[in-house]
Amino acid sequence: MKIEGKVFKYGSNVDTDVIIPARYLNTSDAKELASHCMEDIDATFAQKVEPGDLIVAEDNFGCGSSREHAPLAIKTAGVSCVIAASFARIFYRNSINIGLPILESPEAVKGIKNGDVVSVDFSQGVITNETTGEKFNSEPFPPFIQEMVAKDGLINYLKEEVLG
Amino acid sequence: MSMTMSQKILAAHAGLAEVRPGQLIMANLDLVLGNDITAPVAINEFAKFGLSEVFDKAKIALVPDHFTPNKDIKAAQQCKQMREFAYSKGIENYFEIGEMGIEHALLPEQGLVNAGDLIIGADSHTCTYGALGAFSTGVGSSDMAGAMATGKAWFKVPSALKFHLTGSLSPWVSGKDLILHIIGLIGVDGALYKSMEFVGEGVASLNIDDRFTVCNMAIEAGAKNGIFGVDEIALAYLKEHHQGSPKIYEADSDAHYDAIYEIDLSQIRPTVAFPHLPSNTRTIDEVGEIEVDQVVIGSCTNGRISDLRVAAKILKGRRVNRKVRTIIFPATQRIYLQAMEEGLLRTFVEAGAIVSTPTCGPCLGGHMGILAEGERAVATTNRNFVGRMGHPKSEVYLASPAVAAASALTGRISNPEKVEEL
């Protein structure tokens, strides 16, 4: 799988309260959540983001709450991949569980600016900054997680592997 | 191979003799928790399994605590969905608002947490139960759905940080100051993916409520879980609340820790986390003049009886500053009743504070105390992110119940050690 889009870049410790503020959590409707995605840190994100675009951020992306609404809002807004130097752990597992592609690569984060066009080849784990031509490698998922992603998330994985 | 407390609990629940950091395991769960925000998403995901029953009706807890009493129609719909699911599946531990409390104060109080348990909750502060020697951690709604169906969850075995505590806390200094100090020391990702294990002779000086507060905020350092060694104080709490016998896991003497921190409790000062990160800490001696519009005392972090007693001790016979809206939230119905019987509620009302029904309410900017643009609150809650308690241009300062109560009297962030001068 290969994706390409323009980058929305943010700093460290982007928390789940700015990804999707709690005042909107009185619904679990994914489209409604997406319409408020990143609102408190980037008020125009939801209007500007186009299908395929990427979020690139520094350390500890998605820290804070366990709300799965956060990766869900990002995914539903059309974001094809989040690249960060590191992820908060609940956000990390929630993204895998719902099938939002995420990659850890501190080098790529350093080499990508806001507005750059970036492509990702997931099969090779290669991130390319199409604006500058620079290429970066990302840490591949362990086989267990690759298998879960291949089965399109946690629910299908458990259905097949545990409940059989 | 030697293991930490957390690793031993995971190994036991995965049916393995040993586990090592980084290993991916599938483990059996003792309890699965969800609330009115996270459970509706999980219930929708659970439906995809096509199962008529949950894995164990006694091992699921559903607590409507975030936007309850229902704050608006959408919140009411979410609670209704959870209630109907609970009744239709025969979930034994569903707590309607008259029986409820904030989940992380409620579950231990209801005897649903035992030492040695493995617990997941679709709420990040599920790590609270480490105070009783359980491995507990926050997950998302899909994990909760999977756990309700199978009784299992996947884990990446964490490495650990050890906090070796000595000495004892000074008067007016609490577990909240300790954990804020630690987060200030290691940062909001200082324990990312790791366990925080609290041991040492200083543990004996921390009451159980202090320990709940410390473990509650382990997530604010990025930790997977926080856990205390089980001692007489923890056992006494378990004996009072839990029917079963505790399983005590101790770390091997040669267990590996990524880092060991020596902390002398007597050196901890009242500590405040400034906006907009829990790691942005200063001691009370360094805060300067910070005027506040609202004081919030309560939450899953600091809404327990010890917290209310400290606040009442400061507010007793005094009046809060007229410019400060002071809101106090006992964390459960039982704590509320206890506070009533001890006369604490009278003290609060006479001091000019209001006392709310248990709810997560203002902590996450839900309801019952939202901040307007430019307003500031001192809160005993756990997060001070941008917009956490309301308007994106409002500010939250995290502190202990003692600092919060002292600040309510003066209208600015104040030192409880100087309460006689306030």
Chain B segment 258-287 residues within 8 A of A by beta carbon are 277
Give the three-class secondary structure for B131.
helix
Let me know if the fold of B5-264 is the same as that of B272-421: yes
Mean pLDDT, chain B, rounded, equals: 97
- Rounded Cα–Cα distance for residues B157 and B195 (Å): 9
Bridge partners (DSSP) listed for residue A126: A121, A137
CB contact under 8 A, A65 and B364: yes
**Interchain contact A26–B (C-beta under 8 A):** yes
Q: Is residue B402 scored above 80 in pLDDT?
A: yes
Token reading at B363: 């902590």
- Between the alpha carbon of residue B137 and those of residues B76, B224, B381, the distances in Å are 27, 6, 18
**Domain ranges (residues) in chain B:** 5-264, 272-421
**Cα–Cα distance measured from residue B372 to residue B395, given in angstroms and rounded to the nearest whole number:** 10
Tell whether B58 lies on the interface with A, counting CB pairs under 8 A.
no
**Element of type H or E holding B377:** strand B376-379
Contact A26 B388 (CB under 8 A): no
User: Mind listing the pLDDT tens digit for each residue in A91-129?
Assistant: 999 999 998 999 999 999 999 999 999 999 987 889 999
CA torsion angle B118 B225 B36 B41 (round to 10): -80
* Pairing status of strand B354-355 against strand B225-228: unpaired
Give the chain A residue whose CA is nearest to the CA of B224.
Answer: A89
Question: How large is the average pLDDT for residues B202-214?
Answer: 98
Contact yes or no for B415/B284 (Cβ under 8 A) = yes
Contact state of B139 with A90 under an 8 Å Cβ cutoff: yes
Distances (CA, A) of B217 to A65, A87, A152, B19: 12, 18, 33, 26
Contact yes or no for B49 and A142 at CB 8 A = no
Q: In whole angstroms, give the CA distance from residue B85 to residue B80.
A: 8
CATH (one of 3.40.50.720, 3.30.499.10, 3.60.10.10, 3.40.309.10) for B272-421: 3.30.499.10
Residue B392: list chain A partners with CB under 8 A. 21, 40
Rg (CA), chain A: 15
Do A60 and B366 make contact, defined as CB atoms within 8 angstroms? no
B9 and B134 in contact (C-beta within 8 Å)?
A: yes
CA distances B136 to A16, B152, B226, B341, Å, are 20, 13, 8, 32
Instruction: Check CB contact under 8 Å for A90 and B222.
Output: no
Pick the CATH number of B5-264 from 3.90.1150.10, 3.30.499.10, 3.40.50.261, 3.40.50.150: 3.30.499.10
pLDDT in tens, B97-131: 999 899 999 999 999 999 999 999 999 999 999 99
Contact between residue B44 and residue B82 where contact means Cβ atoms under 8 Å apart: no
What confidence score (pLDDT) does residue A141 get? 78
User: Any idea which of B114-118, B209-213, B418-422 has the lowest mean pLDDT?
Assistant: B418-422
DSSP state of A60: S
Phi, psi for residue A123 in degrees, rounded to 5: -65, -30
Measured torsion, CA atoms of residues A55, A58, A62, A64, in degrees rounded to the nearest 10: -150
Q: What amino acid occupies position B185?
A: L
Q: Say how far apart CA B232 and CA B240 lie, in whole Å.
A: 12
Over residues B144-151, the mean pLDDT reads 98
Please give the average per-residue pLDDT across B319-343, as a whole number.
98
Can you tell me which residue has the tokens 């994106």? B392
Q: Which residues of chain A have pLDDT under 70?
A: none
B299: pLDDT strictly greater than 80: yes
> Residue A147: what pLDDT?
84
Q: Tally C-beta pairs within 8 A across A and B.
A: 139
Min Cα separation B327/chain A (Å): 19
Tell me: the pLDDT tens digits for B219-278? Answer: 999 999 999 999 999 999 999 999 999 999 999 999 999 999 999 999 999 999 999 999
Tell me the pTM. Answer: 0.97
B389 contacts B370 by C-beta, under 8 angstroms: yes
